[in-house]
Amino acid sequence: MNDESTSHQERLAWALFAAVIAVFAWLVIRDAWLCDDAFITFRVVDNFLNDYGLRWNVVDRVQVYTHPLWCLALICVGGIFTNLPLASLWFSIVLSIAAFVLVVPRPRRKELDLVLLALLIPASKAVVQFATSGLEGPLAFLLLAVLILACDGLTSEWGRWDRWVPLLAAAVVLTRQDLLLIVAPLCIAWVARKNTRRATVPIVVGMAVVAMWEIFSFVYYGSLVPNTALAKLNTGIPLSEKIVQGFHYFGDFALRDPAGMIALATCLLVLVVRRKDLQARAVAAGILLYLIYIVVIGGDFMSGRFFAVPVFLAVAEAVRAAEDRSPSSDVVALSAGIAAVLMVATHLFGFNGFVADSASRNGISDERKFYAPALSLQAIRDGQAIERVLWVRGAKRLARRKSAALRAGTIGLAGYYGGPTVHILDVLALGDPLLSRLPPRKGSRIGHFERKIPQGYEASLLSGRLSIEDPDLNEYCRVVWSVTRGPVWSMQRLGDSVRLMAGAYNPLVDAYESRSGAWLREPGLPSLPLPNQTIESLYVSESTFDDADTP
C-alpha cells in the first residue's frame, strides 16, 4: 500500500473519530438541562460564597448533598462566574465531553469498529441526560474514564499511572459516596496484582483522603452520612417492598432507555466472559454490585439517573478490553459498532424509548421532560421562563423580608432563589435534621418520603426557641439542635453527635411514635406529577402576586 493511500485512510480515521465526538457533544448540548435537586447544591454553594458556610438553611449545619467533590468543584465555578446555573451547565458539558474523548480509542486502521462501538454511550438516553442535569454525573464520568486508563489492564508490572489508582478511586467515592461499590472490586484487583509493599503508600493516601472528609463531616455536620441518606433510607419500608420498587426502576429504564439497557447488558456480558482480563472482571463485578444496590434501595424517582454511570463505565471498559482481541472477534466488534451507529441515530432523531409520559404510576418520572421548558440550556440563558415558575416567584417575594419561612416539598428552586434569609421547612426532610429522623407518611412516592410536621415544630423554627408539644420529641430536637446549631468545637456537641449516631436518644423518638404513630403516618398529599405534566403548569403571570402575597 502506497503512502498516499495510507495517508488517505488516516484522514478518514481521524474524521470518523471527530464525527463520533461531535455526535456526543451535540446530543449533550441539545439535551442540557438542570433538575430541581441541582439547585439544592447551588444554594449550599451560594451560602458558602457569601460566608454562611456549607449550609442549606443558614441556621443549621446540615449536609444536603451526596457529592462533596462535585460541591467543591461548583464552589470553584461559582467563585469565577456570577450565573451559577448557566456556568454549571457549561462546566458539565466540558467535563462530559472530556470523559468521552478519553473513552474513544485513537483511530488506527484496524480499530475503526471500536470508535463506532463507543457510540453506545451517547445512544443511551440516561447517559446523555445526566451528562448535565446539575448533578455529579459529569465528574463521575471523567474520573472513572481516567481510572480505567490508569489501571491499564491491571498488569503485574508498575506503570507510570499505577500509583494514582487509589487516589482516583477515592475521588470517585467523594464524587458520590455509593460509587464505592463500583470502584471497590477494581481497587481490590489492583492490590492483588501489585507488589504489596509498593502499593501501601498509594492505598494509605487514598484512604486518608476519604477519611479526611469523614472527619470533617463529623466535626462540622455531626454526622458521617448526608442528611439526605437519613431522609431516604430511614423510612421503615420493608425490604421486600423496596426490592419490588427496585425492579420497577429497572423496568422503567428498559422502557424509557432501551438502547442504554442493551448497551449495559451487552457490555457486561463481554466483560464477564473475558476471564483472562482481571480489570474487565473487576469492573463487571463493581457494576453488578451497584445494580444490586439499586434494587435493594428501591431505585429512585429520576428515571435512568442511577444507570447513567454503570452504562458509561460498562461501555468504556468494553472498548478498552476489546482493543486486545483475537482476529475471530473482529466480525463481532464490527457488528456491535454498526448496531451502536443505528441506536445513536434513533436517539439523534428523537426516539427516547417506548414511554412518552413524564411520570409513571410507580413514582418514576422523566425529570428532564418535566423541567426542560424552564431549565434547559436555552431557557437558563434567557432567564425568562424560570422567573415565571411559582416556586421561584414566591421565594423571591419572601426574600424581600428580613426573615421568613417557607414550607415546601420541592425545595431546590425555592431555596436557591429565596436566598439565605428564607428558611425552608422541607417536608421531605432532605434539609431538615429532625424530620429526617422521623418516619414518613404512608403512600409516599419513591424518593419523596413526606413527613408530617410535629405540632409546635414550625413555631420553634420561626422563633428559634423549642416549643414542640410532645416532651420527648422536644428533648430529642434539643439534642439535634445541639449537634447542628451548637459551637463546632464544643465537647458537649461532639458528645451529642456520637450519642445521636449511636442511637442513644432513639427511645425518645420511639416514645413519641408510640403516642403519635397513626397521626404521623396518615397519607399525605399526592406528590406524583400528572402523566403529561411539565413545569409549565406552575407558570404564573405578573398579576398573580402582589407585594403582600406569599406562596
Q: How many CB atoms lie within 10 A of CB 444?
A: 19
Q: Which residues pair with 406 in a beta bridge?
A: 424
- Contact by Cβ (8 Å): 527, 374: no
> What's the rounded Cα separation, in Å, for the pair 95 and 326?
33
What's the whole-model pTM score?
0.94
> What's the rounded Cα separation, in Å, for the pair 517 and 435?
14
The three grid cell numbers given for residue 515, joined into one nine-digit string:
403516642
> What's the rounded Cα separation, in Å, for the pair 283 and 103?
15
> What's the rounded Cα separation, in Å, for the pair 312 and 120?
9
- Contact by Cβ (8 Å): 187, 23: no
Radius of gyration of the chain from its Cα atoms, rounded to whole angstroms? 25
Closest CA relative to residue 34, chosen from 70, 82, 76, 88 = 88
> What's the rounded Cα separation, in Å, for the pair 85 and 108?
40
DSSP secondary structure code for residue 176 in this structure: S
> What's the rounded Cα separation, in Å, for the pair 63 and 54?
8
Which residues touch 506 (CB under 8 Å, ≥6 apart)?
none
Which residues touch 225 (CB under 8 Å, ≥6 apart)?
177, 217
Q: What amino acid is encoded at 414 in this protein?
A: A
Q: How many CB atoms lie within 10 A of CB 36?
A: 21
- Geometric angle at alpha carbon 383, from 381 and 388, rounded to 5°: 150
Query: To 10 degrees, the CA torsion angle through 356, 25, 250, 233?
Result: -110
Give the phi and the psi of residue 468 in degrees, each rounded to 5: -70, 135
The three grid cell numbers given for residue 380, joined into one nine-digit string:
437558563
Residue 527: the pLDDT is 60
Q: CA dist 369 to 355, 364, 382, 551, Å? A: 12, 12, 19, 24
Residue 548: the pLDDT is 43
DSSP secondary structure code for residue 419 in this structure: -
- Contact by Cβ (8 Å): 279, 170: no
Q: CA dist 8 to 241, 328, 331, Å? A: 59, 27, 24
Q: What amino acid is encoded at 135 in this protein?
A: L
> What's the rounded Cα separation, in Å, for the pair 170 and 192?
18
Look-up of cell digits 439542635: 481
- Contact by Cβ (8 Å): 71, 44: yes
- Contact by Cβ (8 Å): 524, 443: yes
Residue 550: the pLDDT is 43
Written as tens digits, the pLDDT of the chain (551 aa) is: 566 666 777 788 888 899 999 999 999 999 999 999 999 999 999 999 999 999 999 999 999 999 999 999 999 999 999 999 999 999 999 999 999 999 998 876 556 777 888 999 999 999 999 999 999 999 999 999 999 999 987 877 777 788 899 999 999 999 999 999 999 999 999 998 887 778 889 999 999 999 999 999 999 999 999 999 999 988 888 999 999 999 999 999 999 999 999 999 999 998 998 778 899 999 999 999 999 999 999 999 999 999 999 999 999 999 988 876 655 555 666 677 778 888 888 888 878 788 888 888 888 999 999 999 999 999 999 989 999 999 999 899 988 886 777 888 889 999 999 999 999 999 999 999 999 999 888 878 888 898 989 999 999 998 889 999 999 999 999 999 999 999 999 999 999 999 999 999 999 999 998 888 777 777 765 566 677 889 998 898 766 655 444 44
Domain segments of the chain as ranges:
13-348, 385-544
> What's the rounded Cα separation, in Å, for the pair 381 and 398?
25
The DSSP-derived string for 131-182 is TSBTSSHHHHHHHHHHHHHHHTT--SS--TTGGGHHHHHHHHHHHSGGGHHH
Look-up of cell digits 429497572: 250
Q: Which residues pair with 389 in a beta bridge?
A: 539
Query: To 10 degrees, the CA torsion angle through 299, 304, 306, 308?
Result: 160
> What's the rounded Cα separation, in Å, for the pair 324 and 390?
55
Q: How many CA atoms lie within 13 A of 536 on its CB side?
A: 10
**Would you call 484 helix, strand, or coil by DSSP?**
helix
> What's the rounded Cα separation, in Å, for the pair 315 and 190?
20
